[in-house]
Amino acid sequence: MIASEQALERCCQLVELARSKGADAADAVCRASTSESVSVRLGALEDVERSESEEIGLRVFVGRRSSSIHTSDFGAEGLAVLAERAVEMARLAPEDPYAGLAPEDRLFNGDMPDLELSDASEPSPHALRELALASEDAARAVAGVTNSNGGTAGYSRAVFGLATSHGFARGHGGGLHSLSASVVAGEGADKQTDYAYRTTRYRSDLPDPADIGREAGERAVRKVGSGSIGSGRMPVVFDPRVGSGVLGHLLSAMSGPSIARKASFLLEREGEQLFDSAIRVVEQPLRRRGLRSRAFDGEGIACVDRVLVDGGRLTGWLTNVASAAQLGLGLTGHAGRGGGGSPGIALGNVILEPGSVSVAELIADIEDGLFVTGLFGQGVNLVTGDYSRGATGLRIRKGELAEPVAEITIASTLPEMFRALVPANDLELLHGIDVPTFRIDNMAVAGE
């Protein structure tokens, strides 16, 4: 895999080629990655995978016309052909009054902070195999586990480079370590499966494989004997593993492009009291070892910590250059880039701040309710805010977690859910979007 310096060199080369072919402005983004994983099942080696990829994308502007193109051919001839084709395509494209490069005076120009995105260790296939075996062994040792889908351990590295025709040229790299286990509990028609996983920047931050395996096994066993539930309205409590998706819907609806297209249920709700006044949602792109940490966005704008929801109210939309121009707003440092195409929206590490009560206290007064541990289906409409998902979990009876339930549907609207949301105090920083356990009263539950 190429190094970050090589990625930047190719980006700068491609931008210069585009200018020489007639582009008025251009930017290039390069991504390269390598990964290795080892999977085991029932104590035996099942699979060893290794992959490498490199791609570079070019965006050119001819007046107000633009085009994007990408390739995995890094040869000099291939890059020259790419640049020429991109300029030809741009000349045929319709004019776009909003597209363009980020203003030069807004570009990140400070020293790169040490975000600790990669450690020096690169585990051997043997070490990965031992981690996967230990995780699966612990899962299979849980009473009630009857079969295994396997355990997997992996490692990956990636580099990113961005160069623009007005002088920006920066890159960064990072690594990830991962560990997971998935097992089956129960017999016959009542077989249930579940999993546990963890991904960290540093190998030393991974939990003990036995903890991962035990969590997977206990989650699977807890689902055995699932029944349905009577239909009605009741309090629904979301486990953090699935609750992060609810926060993700909010973030998607806050994106500038969605607002500009009038395709968000948050349209014209910017000053509205969406949550209880105690609710805060914050973004921390500069958190050390964060899974979504970065110093600058996909257009070169500096990323900064910010409050996204304060006092229960939105603080603004998440913009890139095009959406900021269309909405008449400033840049917020949220442009996201893939290997090619125009920038989208991407966030750093986001958390829903914890409340003041424990999970036990959160559910103590629930006579009859639902604790959701799994969600499935695609019944979320970000244009209207309608929410309907299939769910599995545990019944709550008289303030205690009780029998497992499945084959049910929970429904509401996202604005109604946000207004009723009450967080517990059990927040853990494990993923790119993290939430504590939270409760939403008066959701519609459909079962038997």
pLDDT digits (tens, 9 = 90+) for 299-346: 999 999 999 999 999 999 999 999 999 999 999 999 999 877 789 999
Report the CATH fold assignment for 4-220. PmbA/TldD fold (3.30.2290)
Question: What is the DSSP secondary-structure string of 348-403?
Answer: --EEEPP-SB-HHHHHTT-SEEEEEEEEES--B-TTT-EEEEEEEEEEEETTEEEE
Q: Count the helix, strand and coil residues of the chain and give each as a percent rounded to the nearest 5.
A: 25, 40, 35
Mean pLDDT value across residues 86-95: 96
pLDDT for residue 373: 97
Asked if 224 and 190 count as a contact pair (C-beta separation under 8 A), the reply is: yes
pLDDT for residue 350: 98
The answer, yes or no, to whether residue 422 has pLDDT greater than 80, is yes
The answer, yes or no, to whether residue 275 has pLDDT greater than 80, is yes
The answer, yes or no, to whether residue 404 has pLDDT greater than 90, is yes
Radius of gyration of the chain (CA): 24
List pLDDT tens digits, range 226-259: 999 999 999 999 999 999 999 999 999 999 999 9
Spatial separation of the C-alpha atoms in residues 154 and 132, rounded to whole Å: 9
pLDDT for residue 313: 96
The answer, yes or no, to whether residue 139 has pLDDT greater than 90, is yes
The answer, yes or no, to whether residue 117 has pLDDT greater than 80, is yes
pLDDT for residue 342: 86
Mean pLDDT value across residues 392-414: 96
pLDDT for residue 266: 97
Using alpha carbons only, give the angle 46, 49, 50 rounded to the nearest 5 degrees.
165
pLDDT for residue 61: 97
pLDDT for residue 380: 96
List pLDDT tens digits, range 383-395: 999 999 999 999 9
Confidence of residue 448 (pLDDT cuts 50, 70, 90): confident
pTM of the predicted structure, to 2 decimals: 0.94
Task: Indicate the length of the chain as a whole number.
Answer: 448
Confidence of residue 347 (pLDDT cuts 50, 70, 90): very high
Q: Which burial class, exposed, middle or buried, applies to 30 when counting CB atoms under 10 A from its CB (0-12, 13-18, 19+)?
A: buried
Domain ranges of the chain: 4-220, 226-448
pLDDT for residue 447: 87
Cross-strand partners of 192: 185
**DSSP, res 265:** T
pLDDT for residue 271: 83
More confident residue, 270 or 149: 149
pLDDT for residue 25: 97
Asked if 371 and 440 count as a contact pair (C-beta separation under 8 A), the reply is: no
Give the mean pLDDT of the chain.
95
Spatial separation of the C-alpha atoms in residues 226 and 138, rounded to whole Å: 24
pLDDT for residue 123: 95
Asked if 316 and 332 count as a contact pair (C-beta separation under 8 A), the reply is: yes
List pLDDT tens digits, range 170-215: 999 999 999 999 999 999 889 999 999 999 999 999 999 999 999 9
Q: Which of 185-189, 284-288, 362-366 has the lowest mean pLDDT?
A: 185-189
Residue type, 366: I
Report in angstroms the alpha-carbon separations of 145 from 77, 130, 138, 361, 370: 57, 21, 10, 31, 24
Spatial separation of the C-alpha atoms in residues 335 and 257, rounded to whole Å: 11
Q: Which burial class, exposed, middle or buried, applies to 110 when counting CB atoms under 10 A from its CB (0-12, 13-18, 19+)?
A: exposed
Confidence of residue 297 (pLDDT cuts 50, 70, 90): very high
Spatial separation of the C-alpha atoms in residues 117 and 347, rounded to whole Å: 16
Confidence of residue 6 (pLDDT cuts 50, 70, 90): confident
Q: Which of 39-43, 119-123, 130-134 has the lowest mean pLDDT?
A: 119-123
- Token representation of residue 422: 């009450």
Mean pLDDT value across residues 70-94: 94
Confidence of residue 405 (pLDDT cuts 50, 70, 90): very high
